[in-house]
Structure 1
Amino acid sequence: MSGVPMTREITFERAPDLKRVYATAMVTGRAASGPLPDVRAVRAGIRADVDNLVDYARVCGYTVGTTLPLTYPHLLAFPLQMVLMSEKAFPLALTGAVHLENVITATRPIAVDEVFDLQVWAENLRPHRRGRQVDLVSEAMVDGEIVWRDVSTYLARGTEHPDADSSEPPALDPLQDVPAGPTWRLGENVGRRYARVSGDWNPIHLHALTARPLGFPTAIAHGMYHYARVVAALGPALPESGLTSHVWFRKPVRLPSTVRLRTAFEPARTLSLLATAKGDIEHAVIEHTW
């Protein structure tokens, strides 16, 4: 009997242990060929851990209120993403994957005490000029209604495709005459501080000694950490509903480092650049629209 294949679901009652996921990936590797597996990672009945939320807010610069910070649900979806990418049938290697960009759409805020479900799947496997890229899609639902959506794009380096289409950030012309905004000194321990609240113990973020074997002269900050710092800094200027937040990660932030934020404010839009204090290296471009 033939028919449409059923999507396989992997369900979790609690967050997967990322240390175990990374350890398994580093031992076994993942470099299979073929299509993306038809599988979803699902975690139902989630309510934010208030202690973890407070710690996350402290690390990333948020003020704890009655609703979850825009980037916080990603913290809960990320382990599910990594589980999918560590699947034996997943056609890209998890070890060495590069987070290229992230798009978060908030239909409405999620209350701190609200119960929601998460589902995560992979789609849109395609060439990249430096290898192949894929989207990991995460949706948070309350009573079946999608209230928050995240598309994380990852690159696995490999055979180059010079003519492949790529997503480029918007032109930075609006920032030409914008004065410098906040400057942040990111200490050598930032990666470990963020790992404690996020569970993301990827060795490239922890210490120079663990980053060097993976090709980095120093530890580098988690992209979602400095992205969250920007969103937190812009918080009062951003609506909580009908918001799309798009970050393009450019060059890694080496630790320790000093970075500077500049933002242009327009009707229904902000455009931000996070760069070195000297402005010679761009770390991230962030656009908010509503």
Structure 2
Amino acid sequence: MTVHWLDLSAPPHLPALYAQAAAKRKITGSTLPEQGLRCWVDIDTQALAAFRDVCAIAPNPLLPPTYPHVLAFGLQMQLLTDKDFPFPLLGLIHLTNRIRVLRPMGGVTRLRIGVFVHNLQKHPKGATFDVVTQVDDQLGPLWEAESTLLCKGVDLPSEVPATPTFSPLALTELTRWYAPSNIGRRYARVSGDYNPIHLSAASAKLFGLPSAIAHGLWLKARALAALNAHLPAANVEISVAFKKPVRLPSEVILLSSDAGSSGDFQLNGHGDLVHLIGQWRPIS
């Protein structure tokens, strides 16, 4: 697709966007907008340090591989609450996330973030689409990502596409950690993502959940922090599929294959509960 870019002079103001998200509750169409949003963003060292703390990421001269999502969140919010976007933001379900670190993300102080949506497809429960994020520094493309989101209740005429599968490598337990009841509020403060399903049991129950659930991207960031010694610093694609949500509070268990250019990992609860499956591969 051809993206028609709108360049912004400053990142969007989140409180106004949350008001727009709360006001829109209905599906208004089945066509995605072709306009994308771009903006230059400065790295705030204090905000970055706070993100590292919440995600248990050790100090490192490189940006954490999931941190560009935080920098892009305001642009994504503006795109998904625009009047031309057909689906209500509240209620969208994050199914998968894939990031590609193209070059080592060190010595970075300013980045150009671009976001757009595409790839609308039929799903057994509605329709899915991808939110694409592209990040450049002064030298060119640095990082990119795709998040696949599900909107229930959308009726598209096309066929449901086949679901890709992969066979994981042998996994062993690497570590485990406790996700406390307040981690949703803590991650919201560093990411800007104040979705009510993550904040408290009371706010989650308004959306039909028995308790608050952890942010999917916090789980990915926390897992990648633990996997840091296993992962290449660049030329790597890291994909995850979100399965059963992590109800807060609870303990989670990280399983992983050995370090190398390719590998697999999985985040489990107790018993047979699988929260997340993931893999890293070289960018071909």
Segments of 5+ residues of structure 1 without an aligned counterpart are none
1:93 is displaced (CA, Å) by 2.0
- CA deviation map 1:1-27 (0-9, x unaligned): xxxx9825151413x333432332222
1:166 is displaced (CA, Å) by 4.9
Q: Distance in 2 between matches of 1:140 and 1:169?
A: 28
For the pair 1:209 / 2:202, whether they are aligned, the reply is yes
Segments of 5+ residues of structure 2 without an aligned counterpart are none
For the pair 1:156 / 2:141, whether they are aligned, the reply is no
Q: Counterpart of 2:192?
A: 199
Q: Secondary structure at the residue paired with 1:182?
A: strand
Pairwise CA RMSD of aligned residues? 2.0
Q: Counterpart of 2:10?
A: 13
1:40 corresponds, among 36, 57, 69, to: 36
CA contact (8 A) 2:231 2:260 kept: no
Q: 1:76 to 1:167 in 2, by over 3 A?
A: farther
Aligned length: 280
CA contact (8 A) 1:10 1:41 kept: yes
The worse-fitting range, judged by mean Cα deviation, of 260-269 and 55-64 is 260-269
1:52 corresponds, among 25, 47, 50, to: 47
- CA deviation map 1:64-98 (0-9, x unaligned): 22111100001111221121111111122211001
Correspondence 1:163-174 to 2 at 5 A: 164-172=160-168, 174=169
Q: Distance in 2 between matches of 1:39 and 1:284?
A: 32
For the pair 1:258 / 2:222, whether they are aligned, the reply is no
Q: Secondary structure at the residue paired with 2:16?
A: helix
Q: Counterpart of 1:288?
A: 280
1:217 is displaced (CA, Å) by 0.6
CA contact (8 A) 1:22 1:202 kept: no
User: What is the TM-score of this pair, normalised by structure 2?
Assistant: 0.92
The worse-fitting range, judged by mean Cα deviation, of 156-165 and 244-253 is 156-165
User: What is the TM-score of this pair, normalised by structure 1?
Assistant: 0.90
For the pair 1:78 / 2:73, whether they are aligned, the reply is yes
1:38 is displaced (CA, Å) by 1.7
2:136 corresponds, among 116, 134, 141, to: 141
Q: Distance in 1 between matches of 2:49 and 2:43?
A: 10
CA contact (8 A) 1:138 1:150 kept: yes
Q: Distance in 1 between matches of 2:216 and 2:255?
A: 17
Q: 1:167 to 1:62 in 2, by over 3 A?
A: farther
Q: Counterpart of 2:226?
A: 233
Q: Secondary structure at the residue paired with 2:258?
A: strand
Q: 1:145 to 1:113 in 2, by over 3 A?
A: closer
1:167 is displaced (CA, Å) by 4.0
Correspondence 1:64-143 to 2 at 5 A: 64-143=59-138
Q: Distance in 2 between matches of 1:250 and 1:6?
A: 31
Q: Secondary structure at the residue paired with 2:23?
A: helix
Q: Secondary structure at the residue paired with 2:227?
A: helix
Identity of aligned residues (%): 34
